[in-house]
Chains A and B, each alone.
Chain A
Amino acid sequence: MKPAAIGPEQKINTRSKPRSWFMEIWKHRMTYTLLLPGLIWLFVFAYMPMGGLSLAFKHYKANMGIWGSPWVGLENFKYVFRDPTFIDAIWRTLYVNIIKFLISFPFPILLALLLNELRMGKMKKVFQTVFTFPQFLSWIIVSGIVINVLSYDGLLNSALSMLGLSTINFLGSEKMFLPMLILTDIWKSTGWGAIIFLAAISGIDQDQYESAQIDGASRMQQIFKITLPNILPTVTVMFILNVGGLMSAGFDQIFNLANAATQNVSQVLDVYIYRITFQSSTDFSFSTAVSLFRSLVNMILLLSADRVAKMMGGDGLFR
């Protein structure tokens, strides 16, 4: 390009910037029509409810709707934080989810290691299909199966009593509720969780195993010296990202496995929100305030988890 041409060209560019911007938009008008249906959906079913969160700062009156109801400032939040069942629900949510998560987290990694060490390719696929299948069933279907297996006169207890052992009241006792949640969660989701770790393992450079074998490393040594260190970044990222969901995880499971006998220990935040919204009171402003609090905490947890995951060298959830 001739140096002399630079001057005038720049001048034209700056002068016609709004126009060229409009031209750019016009050029891509077809693309915008592609985006339109999705954007309309997002506006109505995602962003209008977000705007509806303003209800947390209002006194909801059914005849005035969300937008017409009068503002009351932080009034609702005062009641929220004075409600002992709310505080209780928060602690229970954290308690249940943290324990459930800490115990069940290693299982997908273990399963991935086991599957990876299995040398029969065909059997590996069969096993993987079996292990991932339960993830795709609803917790309602699973709770049907769980009730059949764990109920007082179900499969497991019948087997226990046949062996002369004492039976366990899995479903109807407050003490067994959390262990039962952990057990069923592991049963349902371990196989699906293992997929990510299996992918990480398959990305490991095979040369490392080759040279280790030449050096005479046993398979156990290879697992601990090569496989595990190589998937550690994936493990870390998954761990941190799971922390991001601690405030909301598990509603489906708990709601469908709880019953009258376990009512006290099953009141996690989501169950509490459902109850105060649709069962006990119908104070929509109050439950919106609780919802808003939950959404904010969730967002903060998720974003900080994502930030930490990226700092640890992972890809994080968002680019």
Chain B
Amino acid sequence: MSTKAAKQHKFRVGKMTFLDYFLLVLLTVLSLMIIIPFWNVIMISFATQKEYANNPLLMWPKHPTLDAYRALFQDGRLLGGFLNTFKILLVGLPLSLFLTSTMAYGLSRNKFPGKKGIFFIVLFTMIFNGGIVPLYLVMKSLHLTGSLWSVILVGSFSAFNMILMMNYFQGLPESLMESARLDGAGEWKILFSIVLPLAAPIMATITLFYGVSFWNGWYDAMIFLRKAEQLPLQNVLRTIIVESTTNVSNAASVDALAKSGFSTGMKMASVFISMVPIMCFFPMLQKHFAKGVLTGAIKT
């Protein structure tokens, strides 16, 4: 039996040549260009301010300390940001999965009157949108500005994710749903008790996508929310990182830096703890989303 995989094995895997070692070294160097900045950030967060000032190239602190993290918790702003982001995720994720999967399953069903039109209504939002001002005014007229609901609701549906999921559902065998229908199950029951349990890979992918976008979101919050204590994690992080750091070479911004009250160690600590959740979930789901995106977006 000469399968594709066997052929690949025979012809693509051979003795290591000079080229292979060269590639290995080159890719290692390239990945170090990604790893070293992360490593440096993490190490600075565990170093004392003095040690960092003496050696910005810090790769291993001599006197590791949790001072930066302690100061960050005492300040409390980042913790508040975490709490707000968790609130957004707690409500936003189930809501977005509900909106996306009902729509995706509905549109993946056999022909029904108006299917094409409804699909176009979804698709059109990918190519054209009202922009920020009308969205802001609509939000305001619904009395949602100034409440976390604005951020949750705006982020809870994405046409792109819906189409990914729809394509996955279309690949499921119709006979499954047919037999459930014969047993008297309605469409909602079929979705929740047959389709969704079969759709673990795509649900994982889409959960990650919504999760990442809620986690990383800041623009909506910047526009819709007013009180500082409502702001989600990224906005707090922005205050700590971006707004307090300008051109460090001129004297005025050095003053601004001192005024902000965040040491470099605290800044790096906040960067690090903001990316920990993504670091945890990312490797687990990586194989799923690569596959999901490819089958969904490109080869439809």
A residues neighboring B (CB under 8 Å): 21, 24-25, 27-28, 30-35, 37-39, 41-42, 44-53, 55, 65-66, 111, 114-115, 117-120, 123, 126-134, 136-138, 140-141, 143-145, 147-149, 151-155, 158-159, 162, 169, 171-172, 187, 191, 195-196, 199, 206-207, 209-210, 213, 219, 252, 256, 259-261, 273-274, 277-278, 284, 287-288, 291-292, 294-295, 298-299, 302-303, 315, 318-319
Contacts and interface: CB of A to CB of B under 8 A. Distances in A.
Given A33-B188, A118-B23, A133 B132 contact: no
A46 B129 contact: yes
Contacts of A252: 219
Report, nearest first, the 3 A-B pairs whose CB atoms are least far apart. A52-B134, A49-B130, A291-B131
B148 interface: no
B113 A25 contact: yes
Contact of B157 (A21, A24, A45, A148): A45
Nearest to A38: B103
Interface in B94-139: 98-100, 102-103, 105-107, 109, 112-114, 118, 121-123, 125, 127-138
B267 A152 contact: no
Given A127-B27, A195-B294, A34 B105 contact: yes
A65 B26 CA distance: 59
A88 to B, nearest CB: 20
B12 A35 contact: no
Given A31-B109, A315-B299, A318-B123, A155 B37 contact: yes
Contact of B31 (A65, A120, A131): A131
A120 B25 CA distance: 13
A261 B34 CA distance: 27
A120 B24 contact: yes
B234 interface: yes
B133 A291 contact: yes
Interface of B is mostly: helix
B98 A37 contact: yes
Nearest to A220: B19
B135 A148 contact: no
B99 A148 contact: no
User: Which one of B135, B187, B247 has the highest number of Cβ atoms from chain A below 10 Å of its Cβ?
Assistant: B247
Nearest to A209: B11
A66 B247 contact: no
Contacts of B128: 50, 295, 298-299
Interface in B25-65: 26-27, 30-31, 33-38, 40-41, 44, 55-57
A260 B37 contact: no
B186 interface: yes
B192 to A, nearest CB: 11
B127 A196 contact: no
A130 B34 contact: yes
Given A199-B294, A277-B133, A259 B247 contact: yes
Nearest to B286: A129
A57 to B, nearest CB: 12
B137 A66 contact: yes
Contacts of A28: 109, 112-113
Interface of B: 4, 7-8, 11-14, 16, 19-20, 23-24, 26-27, 30-31, 33-38, 40-41, 44, 55-57, 98-100, 102-103, 105-107, 109, 112-114, 118, 121-123, 125, 127-138, 141-142, 153-154, 156-157, 162, 186-188, 191, 212, 215-219, 223, 234, 237-238, 241-242, 245-250, 253, 264, 267-268, 270-271, 274-275, 278-279, 282-283, 286, 290, 293-294, 298-300
Contacts of B133: 52, 55, 277, 284, 287-288, 291
Contacts of A140: 216, 218, 234, 237-238, 241-242
Contacts of A46: 125, 129-130
Given A34-B191, A130-B35, A169-B249, A141 B103 contact: no
A50 B137 CA distance: 11
A128 B31 CA distance: 9
A137 B127 contact: no
Given A128-B286, A136-B212, 6 more contacts: A25-B114, A33-B187, A35-B106, A39-B103, A55-B137, A137-B278
Nearest to A30: B187
28 contacts: A28-B113, A30-B187, A31-B112, A33-B188, A49-B130, A49-B135, A52-B138, A118-B23, A118-B27, A129-B282, A129-B283, A130-B31, A130-B35, A133-B278, A137-B278, A140-B218, A140-B241, A141-B216, A143-B241, A144-B237, A148-B268, A187-B33, A195-B290, A195-B293, A219-B19, A259-B246, A260-B246, A303-B127
User: Which one of A27, A155, A292, A295 has the highest number of Cβ atoms from chain B below 10 Å of its Cβ?
Assistant: A155
B113 A138 contact: no
